[in-house]
């Protein structure tokens, strides 16, 4: 039988909707779980994606869809990267051939894909707030519908979760919170709650507790006092194991658990009791990220959390090794830390993806992972700076949006030396619009005293990081994209700069001064190519890299005076971006040279490869060259100066 015929004959091919799960026997469900894991490994090995989190929630997701009636009952995933199994059992198996690629499934829940998805959720710690509001809406409208929020223990390190829990407890609506406790977010979960849960998982009596809880759930007709008496009895003498229960009970929310998240029957039993309770209940399911796939389970760094294409047998990535932006930053940060004892690192649950892990390995006492808590990370960094240190906060560009108020008022208003390093800036591609780092230059450009740098290659990453940590009178941002670093692009010359800081790099110039092309960050290579294309049309282009793009360097204004047209090119939204800032600087200086700005259009851009999205946006060398040629062609040539005296005016006739 061929692979295609074998797949067609599989049990998985008969599941097209959640209702199909309810007709299956326990034995068939076990087979289905194995088939789903094989399916996930096969598909993600070709496309890349979030593998580890989804291997860990197979039985949990099957139980959810057997107990609750989606889409009437609403199931919300926090974060959405653990929703692949949910997509599989809600009729979207065919889309996995192009997972996270153009024309295929998104990597997160998507309203456009299915009625079973209600939120486009891919930022952590938000689902409980959605669930609180949704359950209140159902109650006010008199609709007998259940809301289920699936929350990872990593997400519980975020403050929004605890704000939501406080309100959920007060509202007392029928809401089931499933804590998917695998001890990890991107990396091992940290913090006080994580310590409690870790003690529970590692307790010698843990397996016995699971068995007793499983049995008691089967015998108990109601979530509430009868079950709690049983749970208290079976856990008696295991002090650490009851810590989560006491914590959630103090909030006023019933707690069931722990249950083995890979025992579907145990999870189903817990969920049925929680569903029938009529108020908020937490079901604590302990799972293992990457469960069922040896390479993922043996990957200590992140359990193959989000790999690219990989070899199924070994789990090793297929793409050849290359120098990454993140790696250049990580190496230089450690080199700086070797020289300066005051430099410390902070990240929000992403030590490996942002490069902070390298600092942690060498100087563990000087690097902090605060969990999925960007707001806390920023204000904690402010405290470190007040204490005489220079913190380097490394997060994805999209995630710093969550802490704008803290950057503005807790750091900048106090003129504190905190450096923010924004990984995955610009259009990142497969993860879709919620992960595009396209707002930072607009949003943070309004912060007084903040300086923002956009390096173009590995050498300028190193240079500008050193300049950033050398600034002591306010915050700095260093932003760079994802992927491989292009070849170094040396400057022809540098204009301006003081004491090793700032200055504008001239990357290409021509004897004609038709266009000043201001290139931001990684677009520098494209800008130089554009200049070459325009030279073939007879136009002269000066390409400059401002290096520090906010505030606009005064050298840009001076250079603009010498040209007929100024064009800005940036990997961020045009509204409020670098182009707008340069235009304002020119107006303020009474420089009335025409300006055109090229960047990311306002909107929600779909997932796809970075190159595909940039092509859609007209941000390729060919598109930019054609557009600039049209603009400069419409500007009248300046009238040449002559040595002949001006004609004398005739006297008016009388």
Report long-range pairs for 203-207 (Cβ below 8 Å, ≥24 apart).
203/238, 203/240, 203/241, 205/238, 205/241, 206/241, 206/258
Tell me which residue of 80, 67, 74, 65 sits closest to 33, measured CA to CA.
Answer: 65
Can you say how many angstroms the Cα of residue 368 is from the centroid of all Cα atoms in its chain?
Answer: 19
Is residue 529 within 8 A of residue 535, CB to CB? The reply is: no
- In 3D space, the residue among 324, 325, 304 whose CA is nearest the CA of residue 315 turns out to be 304
Dihedral angle, C-alpha 322, 328, 334, 339, nearest 10 °: 130
CB within 8 A of 4, min separation 6: which ones? Answer: none
C-alpha gyration radius of the chain: 29
b vs e for 408-443, b when ≥16 Cβ sit within 10 Å of the residue's Cβ? bebbbeeebbbbbbbbbbbbbbbbbbbbbbbbbbbb
Catalytic machinery residues = 289, 374, 402
Omega prior to 124 cis, within 30 of 0: no
Q: Are 273 and 265 in contact (CB under 8 A)?
A: no
Q: Which of 588, 541, 587 is nearest to 567 (CA)?
A: 541
Residue 514 has phi, psi (to 5 degrees) of: -80, -50
Contact 385, 418 (CB under 8 A): yes
CB neighbourhood size of 639 (10 A) = 6
Helices marked H in 299-348: 325-339
Pairing mode of beta strands 541-545, 504-508? antiparallel
- Pick the closest to residue 338 from 466, 227, 214, 444 (CA basis): 466
Is there a contact between 267 and 275 (Cβ–Cβ < 8 Å)? no
DSSP string, 578-632: HHHHHHHHHHHTT----EEEEEEPSS-PPPS-HHHHHHHTT-SHHHHHHHHHHHH
Angle at 126 between CA 123 and CA 129, to 5 degrees: 165
Could you say which DSSP state residue 410 is in? Answer: I
- Give me the phi and psi of 101, to 5 degrees please: -115, 165
Contact (Cβ atoms closer than 8 angstroms) between residue 287 and residue 82: no
Q: CB atoms < 10 A from the CB of 570, how many?
A: 27
């Amino acid at each position: 039988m061929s692979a295609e015929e074998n797949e067609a004959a599989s049990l998985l091919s008969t599941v097209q909707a959640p209702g199909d799960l309810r007709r299956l026997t326990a034995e068939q469900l076990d087979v289905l779980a194995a088939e789903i894991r094989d399916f996930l490994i096969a598909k993600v090995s070709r496309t890349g994606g979030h593998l580890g989190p989804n291997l860990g929630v197979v039985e949990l997701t099957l139980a959810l869809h057997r107990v609750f009636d989606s889409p009437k009952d609403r199931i919300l995933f926090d974060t959405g990267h653990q929703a692949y199994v949910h997509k599989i059992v809600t009729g979207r198996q065919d889309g996995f051939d192009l997972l996270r690629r153009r024309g295929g499934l998104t990597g997160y829940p998507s309203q456009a894909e299915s009625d079973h998805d209600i939120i486009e959720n891919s930022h952590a710690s938000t689902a409980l707030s959605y669930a609180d509001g949704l359950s209140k809406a159902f109650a006010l409208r008199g609709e007998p519908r259940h809301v289920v929020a699936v929350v990872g223990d990593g997400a519980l390190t975020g403050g929004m979760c605890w704000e939501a829990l406080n309100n959920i407890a007060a509202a007392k609506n029928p809401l089931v919170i499933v804590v998917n406790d695998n001890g990890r977010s991107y990396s091992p979960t940290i913090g006080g709650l994580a310590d409690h849960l870790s003690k529970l998982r590692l307790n010698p009596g843990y397996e016995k507790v699971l068995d007793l809880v499983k049995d008691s759930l089967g015998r108990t007709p109601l979530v509430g006092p009868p079950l709690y008496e049983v749970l208290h009895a079976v856990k008696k003498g295991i002090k650490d194991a009851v810590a989560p229960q006491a914590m959630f009970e103090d909030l006023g929310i019933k707690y069931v658990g722990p249950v083995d998240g890979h025992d579907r029957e145990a999870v189903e039993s817990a969920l049925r009791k929680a569903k029938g309770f009529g108020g908020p209940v937490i079901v604590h399911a302990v799972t293992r990220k990457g469960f069922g796939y040896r390479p993922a389970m043996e990957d200590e760094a992140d359990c193959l959390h989000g790999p690219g294409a990989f070899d199924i047998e070994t789990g090793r990535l297929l793409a050849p090794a290359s120098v990454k932006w993140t790696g250049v930053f990580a190496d230089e940060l450690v080199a700086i830390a070797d020289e300066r004892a005051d430099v410390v690192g902070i990240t929000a649950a992403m030590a490996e993806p942002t490069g902070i892990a390298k600092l942690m390995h060498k100087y563990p006492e000087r690097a902090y992972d605060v969990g999925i808590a960007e707001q806390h990370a920023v204000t904690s960094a402010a405290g470190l700076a007040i204490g005489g240190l220079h913190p380097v906060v490394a997060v994805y560009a999209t995630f710093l949006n969550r802490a704008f108020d803290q950057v503005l008022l807790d750091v900048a208003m106090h003129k504190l030396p905190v450096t923010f390093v924004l990984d995955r800036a610009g259009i990142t591609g497969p993860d879709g619009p919620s992960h595009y780092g396209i707002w930072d230059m607009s949003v943070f450009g309004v912060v007084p005293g903040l300086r923002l740098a956009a390096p173009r290659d590995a050498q300028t990453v190193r240079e500008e990081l050193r300049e950033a940590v050398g600034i002591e009178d306010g915050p700095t941002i260093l932003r760079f994209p994802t992927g491989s670093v292009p070849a170094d692009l040396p400057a022809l010359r540098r204009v301006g700069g003081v004491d090793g800081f700032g200055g504008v790099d001239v990357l290409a110039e021509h004897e004609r001064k038709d266009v000043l092309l201001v290139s931001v960050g990684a677009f520098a290579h494209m800008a130089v190519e554009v200049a070459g294309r325009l030279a073939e049309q007879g136009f002269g282009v000066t390409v400059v890299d401002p290096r520090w793009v906010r505030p606009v360097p005064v050298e840009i204004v001076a250079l603009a005076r010498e040209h007929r047209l100024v064009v800005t090119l940036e990997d961020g939204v045009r509204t409020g971006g670098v182009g707008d800032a340069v235009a304002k600087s020119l107006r303020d200086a009474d420089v009335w040279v025409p300006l055109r700005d090229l960047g990311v259009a306002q909107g929600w851009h779909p997932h796809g490869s970075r190159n595909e999205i940039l092509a859609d946006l007209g941000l390729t060398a060919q598109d930019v060259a054609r557009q600039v040629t049209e603009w400069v062609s419409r500007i009248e040539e300046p009238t040449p100066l002559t040595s002949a005296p001006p004609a004398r005016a005739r006297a008016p006739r009388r």
